[in-house]
Amino acid sequence: MSSVTRKTLLAVGLLAGIPALGVAGFVWSGIYDVGADTPHTRPVYALLQTARDRSIEARAGKLQVPALQDPARIVQGAGNYDAMCTGCHLKPGLTGTELSKGLYPAPPDLTRTTVDPARAFWVIKHGIKASGMPAWGRSMEDEYIWNMVAFLQALPKLDPAQYQALVARSGGHSHGGGESMPHGHGEGDHHDGGAAEQPHDDAAAHPHAPGAPPHDHADAGSAPAKAEQGKTIVHRHADGTVEAHPAPETPPAEAEPAHDHEHEH
């Protein structure tokens, strides 16, 4: 390699390094405000928005969208949406929350926006870095994510009463969407994935069953307390497996200490 060529390459390298050094100096200075209450500059916002949209499009375009018109899908998805998404993406009759007002970029109001099914699935499953959108695929199976996508197609057409009716019918509304939690989770976490809830010993979890007369909890050896023993708590998981274990036994009441009547007057 001639000395001229070496000098040329060195000059090009130095010139190419100047912008990189400038960017590094700008970043290191801390001049750019990353606070969520200060919008990005227009060039930065345009760059991030384009990178986000192209990234999602490139990946979502490879997905095969299943049939989403099944009413059962929509009903099941309604409950999980209500439990997991309304704080950011709202629901009919809700115009804003502390969370939705504090996030930047602002999350879309999905009660007014119809989303592309494939893009919606990809975003729900994988999330978006540094946006407040979590990757729900870490705790949800694809089936339940598609159910939420099915619900999103119907959401903009619902009024508050219709929305609440769907949520009330949904098997997901009290479970937060964690249908794929591993076995051995806490006793209070029952995930049915939209199927009918399996019977369990309500008396072990609630002091009084609805409509039943109150129990005398002071007497741990009473008949109601003994009746709870030997029952079984059943969990149904998203993969169809059923896990059962006995209800916790009620410990016997401690014997009441005898009174020394010789010292009573």
- Considering the chain, what is the average pLDDT of its residues? 75
Distance CA 117, CA 121 (A): 6
**Given 1.10.760.10, 1.20.58.410, 3.40.50.1970, 3.30.360.10, which CATH number is that of 50-169?**
1.10.760.10
What is the pLDDT, as a whole number, of residue 23?
A: 77
pTM to 2 decimal places:
0.62
Q: By the 8 A CB rule, do 118 and 54 touch?
A: no
Contacts of 51 (CB under 8 A, 6+ apart): none
- Segments of the chain with pLDDT less than 70: 1-18, 172-265
- 64 DSSP β-pair partners: none
Task: List the structure tokens of 152.
Answer: 């999103």
Domain boundaries, the chain: 50-169, 202-246
Length of the chain in terms of residues written: 265
The pLDDT of residue 140: 94
What was the pLDDT predicted at 100? 95
Contact predicate 245/253, CB 8 Å: no
Token pair belonging to 189: 């976490």
- Residue 152 contacts residue 166 (beta carbons within 8 Å): no
- Residue 75's identity, in one-letter code, is V
Residue 162: predicted pLDDT: 97
- Using the structure block, give the residue that is written with the tokens 């490879």: 62
